[in-house]
Amino acid sequence: MLKQVHSISRTIPAHPRTIASRWMARAGLTSAMVAVALTGTLVAPAALAEYPERPIQLVLSFPPAGATDVLARAVGQRLSQVLKQPVVVENRPGAGGALGMGYAAKASPDGYTLYLAAVSNAAIAAATYSSQPANLGKDFVPIAGIGNVPHILVVPASSPVKTVPELVKMLKATPGEHNFASQGSGTLSHLESELFKLRTGVDVVHVPYKGSSFALPDLMAGRSAMMFDSIPSALPHVKSGKLRLLAVASEQRVKLLPDVPTMGEAGVSDFRANNLFGLVAPKGTPPAVIEKLAAASKAVLAQPELAETMAAQGVEIAYTPADKFGRMIQQEMRDWAKVAQAAHVKVD
């Protein structure tokens, strides 16, 4: 009987702890080493979930006080509340937006540098500059569309024209004697006027500036005949009586300005300039980070107070998912490439 018991005991499998101990001994591992390895596998997902762990830089290609800056600071402030980290706005104007976009594209793709894209401007720059440090459609991944900032056509208050047809008549009567101001060569403000020239046949000379804040004083002084500019930067001067508003450049009338006609309604057919804005990140940014930023953007843009505040300044807030926003970027690039080609606009 004793022999039978002994033989049976040798056939019973060893306890799992015993097996593990023997395996570790043969592998030269200690319990502490195994614990560290197991802990590492548990920490990796947790570390990703902790994004963001430090301040986020939000880069834009235009100077302070313009439409892009107003939108960036309003959205950035609320993103910081949702993400529990500061969102610091970084203004890098110049070269039709190329400087800021190039800087953002070269940043580490870790989610700590984002770019607030003025999509129409980026599309125009891609079509008009011979060389660009970055391409919005190729060097970034979309996070979310955040809205539109419609542009308006304004003239000095001292100008004799009161309507778009009157402006066209004046410019045709004195070809080449007037100029138009813009936010800079290769910007939406520039190409809108080139589109205006194509659709009306007027001859007016381009004078580029480094943003609206530099262009508007000369426009108000009468040194320029006209300008397409964003509502947030130009409308205060309309209200103060220094500029006269003739039309909105978007396809539809703007809620803030219900009595102001579109360019189409004012007699300029086939004129569309919807100023699309959105958030993008350098190509290679982890999908999990993009998803978290997209969710935060959606939450921010759903805040009624933000929409009301921005609407009062002419900014139309609207959340667009990343995939649809990406398609909108590509469409804008195709549309403005056609305008640049037809107007023979190249910026070197």
Cα–Cα distance between 273 and 256 in angstroms, integer?
Answer: 17
Average pLDDT score over the chain? 87
CA atoms within 13 A on the CB side of 126: 23
Domains (range + CATH), the chain: 14-49 (no CATH), 56-149+277-343 (3.40.190.150), 151-248 (3.40.190.10)
* 5-23 pLDDT tens trace: 344 344 444 444 444 444 4
Pairing of β 56-60 and β 113-118: parallel
Q: What is the DSSP letter of 95?
A: G
Run of H or E residues at 180: strand 179-182
Q: Is 145 helix (H, G, I), strand (E, B) or coil?
A: strand
DSSP 8-class letter at 97: G
| pLDDT of amino acid 318 | 93
Q: What is the DSSP letter of 284?
A: T
Q: What is the tens place of the pLDDT at every residue in 145-199?
A: 999 988 999 999 999 999 999 999 999 999 999 999 998 888 899 999 999 999 9
| Chain segment 232-251, per-residue pLDDT in tens | 889 999 999 999 999 999 98
| pLDDT tens sequence across 287-333 | 999 999 999 999 999 999 999 999 888 889 999 999 999 999 999 99
Whole-model pTM: value is: 0.76
pLDDT, position 282: 98
Instruction: List, in order, residues 6 or more apart from 347 with CB less than 8 Å away.
Output: 96, 125, 128, 129, 130, 185, 186
pLDDT of residue 47: 43
CA gap 299, 293 in Å, rounded: 10
Q: Is 227 helix (H, G, I), strand (E, B) or coil?
A: strand
Confidence of residue 95 (pLDDT cuts 50, 70, 90): confident
Residue 7: enclosing H or E segment and its boundaries?
helix 2-11
Q: Which of 82, 216, 109, 209 is nearest to 155 (CA)?
A: 216
* HSE-up (13 A, CA, CB side) for residue 171: 22
Task: Give the alpha-carbon dihedral of 17, 22, 27, 33, to 10 degrees.
Answer: 30
Cis peptide before 86 (omega within 30 of 0): no
What is the Cα–Cα distance from 245 to 156, expressed in whole angstroms?
9
Cα 6 to its chain centre, rounded Å, is 78
Nearest partner of 296 among 45, 3, 38, 84, judged by Cα: 84
Please tell me the distance from the alpha carbon of residue 92 to that of residue 103, in angstroms, as a whole number: 8
Phi, psi values for residue 88, rounded to 5°: -100, 120
Taking a C-beta distance cutoff of 8 angstroms, is the pair 193, 226 a contact?
yes
